[in-house]
Amino acid sequence: MGNRKLSEKQRQRITENQSQRFSDTDNDEPIDTPSCNGRIISHFGRQLDVEVLNGDNVGVVIRCHYRANLPTLVTGDLVKWKADTKDVGVIVSRSVRKNTFGRHDSNGKFKPVAANLNRVLIVFAVIPTTFTNLIDRYLVAVENLKIQPLLVLNKIDLLDNSKNKSTQKLLTIYKRIGYPIVEVSAKTGQGIYTLQKALSGQTAVLVGQSGTGKSSLINRLGLAKLTETAGLSKAKDKGIHTTTTSRLYHLETCDLIDSPGIREFSLSNMPAQNVLKGFRELNEFSLTCKYRDCRHGSEPGCAIQQAIKSGDISMDRFESYQRILNDLT
Ligand SMILES: Nc1nc2c(ncn2[C@@H]2O[C@H](COP(=O)(O)OP(=O)(O)O)[C@@H](O)[C@H]2O)c(=O)[nH]1
Ligand SMILES: [Mg+2]
Ligand SMILES: [Zn+2]
């Protein structure tokens, strides 16, 4: 039994199971979307805010609790709820999800952040310093969910001579791969109109390091004081994250989900093959490597190594890819 070889089919099934595990750990309740009468706006502790989707109270947000046998519930989920006591509802089932964006905690457990999305906004800023590896981790997750990413560089009002060069270098890497990028300032409003146009009709979650201005961007797009942002005094106080849970906001032309800032974004046990898929340009070149099982190191005929030499693949991205592979659990 010990060294029995897995058939190609079995191997494929294992990979599929693993990638499903990456995006969602639950069994969906077999209810369809039209029978849902609520959407989860926010989830905190054992309670949730649910927006009423039909009937007299459309648009009203009602506090709900939920039955114990339900699959996980997260902002963006469509649910069926009914009145329980006078002011409180109870969620009885959840719809099949179109997709789930989430992260893994330090124990490798999947933690959903938002569901039923068509865009993920990866927000980074002139300050704090951007870690390209963090952007790449988000991109790998988003590519594997087959959701369109949008890179958002915020705080361009803080660009000066010293910051300009490193920022341009970073932008060039992602622009060359073909990722859409919007450059904005939540403070001055620069670029906000372009961002608004890009988001028209979308349901998008904003993710990224804490302090990059995700909540400020939602405020600016909504032109209202919707979300709490970390004020200057608070922001200096290291470790304070104002946004503690994800929350959905209806803006004029789109729905935006604010998410708490995180320091690490782990891909946990994602199969190596999926990590490669998450690096668009590397994946494309890998198809023409001489050997099918090329490890893209020093093998002869490695198309990725050739592309690095010719400047078609940036060394930063290749190093980032290797770092992610090394960190897989
Ligand atoms: N200069 C400047 N500061 C900004 C901008 N956007 C946000 N900030 C500041 O950055 C800090 C963090 O913003 P916040 O929206 O709470 O970030 P979040 O953690 O990503 O939600 C706050 O002090 C904001 O006032 C911007 O475009 N320019
Ligand atoms: Mg925030
Ligand atoms: Zn190769």
Residues 70 and 129 reside in one and the same domain: no
Report the Cα–Cα distance between both ends of the chain, in Å, rounded.
25
Q: Could you report the per-residue pLDDT of 319-328, keeping only the tens digit for each? A: 999 999 998 8
- Between helix 132-145 and helix 8-23 the angle, nearest 10°, is 110
Mean pLDDT for all residues in the chain: 86
Tally the domains of the chain: 3
Residues 230 and 311 reside in one and the same domain: no
Residues 174 and 215 reside in one and the same domain: yes
Query: Is residue 38 in contact with ligand 1, taking CB distance under 6 Å?
Result: no
Q: Which atom in ligand 1 lies closest to the alpha carbon of residue 188?
A: 27
Question: What average pLDDT score do residues 6-10 get?
Answer: 57
Please report whether residue 236 resides in a domain: yes
Q: Residue 77 has what pLDDT?
A: 96
Q: How many Å lie between the centroid of ligand 3 and the Cα of residue 132?
A: 23
Query: Is residue 227 in contact with ligand 1, taking CB distance under 6 Å?
Result: no
Between 318 and 4, whose confidence is greater?
318
Residues 241 and 160 reside in one and the same domain: yes
Q: Residue 105 has what pLDDT?
A: 83
Per-residue pLDDT at 227 exceeds 60: no
Q: Residue 85 has what pLDDT?
A: 86
User: What residues have CB less than 8 Å from 33, skipping those under 6 apart?
Assistant: 78, 95, 96
Q: How far is CA 299 from the centre of its chain?
A: 34
Domain boundary among 258, 287, 305: 258
**Cβ atoms 177, 280 nearer than 8 A:** yes
Question: What average pLDDT score do residues 28-34 get?
Answer: 64
Residues 40 and 186 reside in one and the same domain: no
CATH number at residue 150: 3.40.50.300
Residues 152 and 250 reside in one and the same domain: yes
Phi/psi of residue 321, each to 5°? -60, -45
Per-residue pLDDT at 223 exceeds 80: no
**Cβ atoms 64, 104 nearer than 8 A:** no
**Cβ atoms 25, 110 nearer than 8 A:** yes
Residues 104 and 171 reside in one and the same domain: yes
Q: Could you report the per-residue pLDDT of 38-90, keeping only the tens digit for each? A: 999 999 888 999 999 998 888 889 999 998 889 999 999 999 999 998 889 99
Please report whether residue 25 resides in a domain: no
Q: Which of 20-24, 98-102, 156-160 has the lowest average pLDDT?
A: 20-24
Query: Is residue 260 in contact with ligand 1, taking CB distance under 6 Å?
Result: no
Please report whether residue 179 resides in a domain: yes
Q: Give bridge partners of residue 50 from the DSSP assignment.
A: 40, 62
Residue 2's pLDDT band (cuts 50, 70, 90):
very low
Residues 240 and 156 reside in one and the same domain: yes
Query: Is residue 232 in contact with ligand 1, taking CB distance under 6 Å?
Result: yes
Closest CA to 250 of 76, 102, 28: 76
Enclosing domain of residue 297 = 279-327
Residues 83 and 153 reside in one and the same domain: no
Residues 106 and 157 reside in one and the same domain: yes
Domain boundary among 53, 69, 94: 94
Query: Is residue 89 in contact with ligand 1, taking CB distance under 6 Å?
Result: no
In angstroms, the CA 111 to CA 103 distance is 5
Q: Could you report the per-residue pLDDT of 186-217, keeping only the tens digit for each? A: 999 999 999 999 999 999 999 999 999 999 99
Please report whether residue 10 resides in a domain: no
- Residues around ion ligand 2, judged by CB within 5 A, are 214-215, 243
Q: Residue 177 has what pLDDT?
A: 97
CATH number at residue 323: 1.10.40.50
Q: Residue 7 has what pLDDT?
A: 58
Q: Residue 226 has what pLDDT?
A: 52
Please report whether residue 44 resides in a domain: yes
Q: Could you report the per-residue pLDDT of 259-310, keeping only the tens digit for each? A: 987 777 888 889 999 999 999 999 999 999 999 999 999 899 999 999 999 9
Between 277 and 18, whose confidence is greater?
277
Please report whether residue 14 resides in a domain: no
Domain boundary among 77, 94, 111: 94
Residues 201 and 57 reside in one and the same domain: no
Closest CA to 126 of 162, 86, 98: 162
Please report whether residue 24 resides in a domain: no
Residue 233's pLDDT band (cuts 50, 70, 90):
very low
CATH number at residue 90: 2.40.50.140
Residues 109 and 254 reside in one and the same domain: yes
